[in-house]
Amino acid sequence: MTRPRLLDENLPTNELGEGAFWDSNTAALYWVDITGQAIFRYDVRARAHKSWKLPKQVSFAFPTNGRLVVCLSDGVYDFDPGDGMLKPVAILDLPSDHRLNDGKVDPKGRLWVGTINTSLEPSETAALYRLDGDRLQEIEPGYVNANGKAWSIDGRIMYHADTAIGTIWQYDYDLATGEISGKRVFVRREDWHPDGLCSDGAGSIFAAIYGGSRIDVFDYRGDIQRTIDLPVPNPTSCAIGGEANDQLFVTSASEGMTSGQLFRAPLSGQVFIVDLDR
């Protein structure tokens, strides 16, 4: 495994980079800047990037049939990158200081998304949702920050992080119906903040540790296998990809950092790539 390096030194700095997604069909990485209200696409073969500005905060973007499924602060939308048109798919009437957050598609293509309570004294009023047709159905309430998601190789286990309480949960997952059951703790610590999650073909779970300058990698039992140190304090999301599916892409944030912190970690807000052992 090589040391992390910049995806491209010419990419703009993100305030709150998030939503790393590898599109194997086009060998491109998608991610967003939530507070910067922008979507980014990077073509690894051409080493070229595009970006699109959105009217609201955006937490993820997934390509589908030449268009993008995007999540804005109040709902899921269909976005045409050609003409910039947005079409609502499913809208939520959220409480004050709440917005939609990280999302992920399961192995069957179902979209799951969480919400976050962004108030100064957040409580467990966020929730986990599944997109069913034109409706975001609340599946489970009681979160502070319903964040990263991942699935096991066979799709029978779902992982879900609540960043605010330092916990990654594990569920039994029914691929046929998209139903979850048997919620239990996968990993819980008081001194960390797991953000985005992803999994690889060997069954390992990767967790971006916000404030921890690293990616923690766990086996299926929740035992840590290794850590991947990063030159920035706030990694936010991760995705396995690359043309041989042997690379890890990591987004990061610069939002909220002092001038001194930015001086010590000037690459904050950039996107990184790590070559993994095969």
Here the CATH number for the domain that contains residue 252 is: 2.120.10.30
Report if pTM > 0.75: yes
- β-strand partners of 235: 252
Task: Specify the pLDDT at position 65.
Answer: 87
Of 61, 163, 59, residue with least CA distance to 50: 61
Of 186, 159, 187, residue with least CA distance to 173: 159
Of 190, 224, 183, 230, residue with least CA distance to 208: 230
Cα atoms in the 13 Å half-sphere on the side-chain side of 247: 23
How many distinct structural domains can be found in the chain? Answer: 1
- β-strand partners of 138: 129
The four Cα atoms 181, 18, 122, 263 give a dihedral, to 10 degrees, of 140
Residues 6+ positions from 197 with CB-CB distance below 8 Å: 104, 148, 149, 150, 159, 160, 161, 168, 205, 206, 207, 208, 238
Task: End-to-end CA distance of the chain: give it in Å, rounded.
Answer: 9
Task: Specify the pLDDT at position 278.
Answer: 58
- The per-residue pLDDT string of the chain (278 residues; one tens digit each, 9 = 90 and over) reads 679 999 999 999 999 999 999 999 999 999 999 999 999 999 999 999 999 999 999 999 999 988 999 999 999 999 999 999 999 999 999 988 999 999 999 999 999 999 999 999 999 999 999 999 999 999 999 999 999 999 999 999 999 999 999 999 999 999 999 999 999 999 999 999 999 999 999 999 999 999 999 999 999 999 999 999 999 999 999 999 999 999 999 999 999 999 999 999 999 999 999 999 85
Task: Specify the pLDDT at position 111.
Answer: 97
Task: Specify the pLDDT at position 96.
Answer: 87
Domain that holds residue 141: 5-275
Of 118, 116, 117, 133, residue with least CA distance to 196: 116
- Per-residue HEC secondary structure of the chain comes to CCCCEECCCCCCCCCEEEEEEEECCCCEEEEEECCCCEEEEEECCCCEEEEEECCCCEEEEEEECCEEEEEECCEEEEECCCCCCEEEEEECCCCCCEEEEEEEECCCCCEEEEEEECCCCCCCCEEEEEEECCEEEEEEEEECEEEEEEECCCCCEEEEEEHHHCEEEEEEEECCCCEEEEEEEEEECCCCCEEEEEECCCCCEEEEECCCCEEEEECCCCCEEEEEECCCCCEEEEEEECCCCCEEEEEEECCCCCHHHHHHCCCCCCCEEEECCC
